[in-house]
Amino acid sequence: MGRIIGAMLFLNLWGGPKTNLVKTNQDNFQRSSLTNQRGTVMSRPTVTLICAFITILSRFVFLRPALPDNKRTNLVGKPSDHAKPMDLKQGDKESILKPFALVTAKPKQERRQQTTTSAPAVNISRFDINENSSIFSNLPASELDIMGKRRFVAPHVVYKTDKKPDEPCSITSSLAYFPDEEGNDQNVTGPPRVPPSNLTVVTVEGCPSFVILDWEKSDNETTEYEVVSTTKGPNGHEVSVLTTNQTHTAVENLKPESSYEFKVTPKNELGPGPSSDPVSFSTESADPRVSEHVSGKDAIWTQFPFKSDAYSECNGKQYVKRTWYRKFVGIQLCNSLRYKIYLSDSLNGKFYNIGDQTGHGEDHCQFVDSFLDGRTGSQMFADQLPSRPGFYRAVRQEPVSFGEIGGKSHVTYVGWYECGTPIPGKW
């Protein structure tokens, strides 16, 4: 088609009748020149080049095949990665023979293995599981712990299942789900007569060092409760006794893979009442991703009162231990999993806050032998904190320096840490 149109244009310009051409001399007409309507003269080579150009152009305009639908030019957005040229000299980052992506097989529905213990009844405690069904369950999310040991299941056990594996265990955040009881100011006429009922063990999946005991109130004669925890140790029975005016309490510093028995007794100033039925529980394995647990050895923390900087949100017992880099670590407890961490050059010297140049002390959990980046207290900028002397560093494993922290130093510090490591780790 292009050739025909080119030929027609050529004949029309060269040999056909021309109404638009002006013959300057009919007797001496020269075929070497043509005159257009405006009188412009074109030479024969010029016309030849024009015809050739039109012929070539027509091939692209009329003879170019249409693109198939799957090869249409993408008119919207950026070109796809497949359209990018590949530089074979430099070598593409991806292999030229790029394998196809593997097709993920449809997951098979796993059957939940049945335990030998019967499934517990629903809503067995004052603590309403149904209102917190996304967080608390009568069964753990996984029947096996981190070391493959089967978790303890019983009608009186409730699991808190929302803790992430890399998240430190927290007694404080777990207790937040249990409302405090109002005090009883009435006069008592005798010792409590009704035992506490529905004693329930609430445990956090992945946290073997503590449980929360919850029970129903006994009667109006009760002003406080005595919680007795018993376990078998190398030297016989070990006992821990707690006193609380609430109908729940945390039992801390439990040992991994150990069996315990719990009992609650109501009391007032006139004497104790009947105790609850005892309940048993076995803790799961220690998580090696949190810290190294050496079986059969006591914790290395020693209770010791020390002089410390005043900035702390904890006011409990104080413990110390010697570190491998010739510093003493001092701990003041909020509870066994929340504490303030200090450093000192000597046991009898002052213990100072620890500052962080790049964060808010998350990596300071290394000082209590935790592998985790911990949860810390109120996180403020350095210029929002009082300037004070202290130790500081930027990253884990880095030696500490001593100098100004807070104020204009660009070094922050915090009021408490949660590192997943229980302190002191024993009764």
Q: Is residue 288 part of a domain?
A: no
Same domain for 267 and 189: yes
> CA 291 to CA 419: how far, in whole Å?
9
DSSP lists the bridge partners of residue 351 as 308
Same domain for 333 and 270: no
Range from 229-243, 297-311, 313-327, 359-373 carrying the lowest mean pLDDT: 297-311
Report if pTM > 0.75. no
Query: 185-206, pLDDT tens digit by residue?
Result: 678 889 999 999 999 999 999 9
Long-range contacts of the stretch 138-143 (C-beta < 8 A, 24+): 140/205, 141/205, 142/205, 143/112, 143/113, 143/115
Q: Is residue 106 part of a domain?
A: no
State the pLDDT at residue 165: 84
> CA 340 to CA 252: how far, in whole Å?
17
Measure CA 243 to chain center.
36
**Contact yes or no for 126/169 (Cβ under 8 A):** no
Same domain for 327 and 390: yes
Same domain for 246 and 199: yes
* Measured distance between the N- and C-terminal CA atoms of the chain, rounded to whole angstroms: 100
**Contact yes or no for 221/192 (Cβ under 8 A):** yes
State the pLDDT at residue 188: 83
pLDDT above 80: residue 25: no
pLDDT above 70: residue 408: yes
> CA 192 to CA 319: how far, in whole Å?
38
Q: Is residue 69 part of a domain?
A: no
Domain count, the chain: 3
Same domain for 318 and 251: no
- Last-in-domain residue among 251, 282, 313: 282
203: left (phi over 0), alpha (psi -120 to 50) or beta: beta
State the pLDDT at residue 41: 47
**Contact yes or no for 417/377 (Cβ under 8 A):** yes
Query: 231-275, pLDDT tens digit by residue?
Result: 987 778 899 999 999 999 999 999 999 999 999 999 999 999 999
Q: Is residue 101 part of a domain?
A: no
pLDDT above 90: residue 40: no
Same domain for 225 and 135: yes
Same domain for 244 and 139: yes
pLDDT above 90: residue 358: yes
Q: Is residue 75 part of a domain?
A: no
> CA 283 to CA 367: how far, in whole Å?
26
Burial bucket for residue 280 (CB in 10 Å: 0-12, 13-18, 19+): middle
Same domain for 225 and 163: yes
Burial bucket for residue 272 (CB in 10 Å: 0-12, 13-18, 19+): middle
Range from 121-135, 300-314, 372-386, 391-405 carrying the lowest mean pLDDT: 121-135
Q: Mean pLDDT in the chain?
A: 77
At 207, which amino acid appears? C
**Contact yes or no for 354/343 (Cβ under 8 A):** yes
- Last-in-domain residue among 25, 42, 63: 63
- Average pLDDT estimate for 81-107: 37
- Last-in-domain residue among 219, 250, 282: 282
Same domain for 225 and 147: yes
Strands (E), 234-327: 236-244, 248-251, 259-268, 271-272, 279-282, 302-303, 318-322
Same domain for 179 and 44: no
Please say whether the dihedral angle defined by the alpha carbons of residues 129, 133, 139 and 145, taken in this order, is positive or negative: negative
State the pLDDT at residue 130: 64
Q: Is residue 318 part of a domain?
A: yes
Q: Is residue 383 part of a domain?
A: yes
Q: Is residue 353 part of a domain?
A: yes
Top pLDDT among 333 and 236 is at 333
Q: For residue 166, what are the domain limits?
A: 130-282
| pLDDT-derived band at 57, boundaries 50, 70, 90 | low
Same domain for 261 and 193: yes
> CA 195 to CA 55: how far, in whole Å?
108
Query: 396-406, pLDDT tens digit by residue?
Result: 999 999 999 99
Same domain for 261 and 142: yes
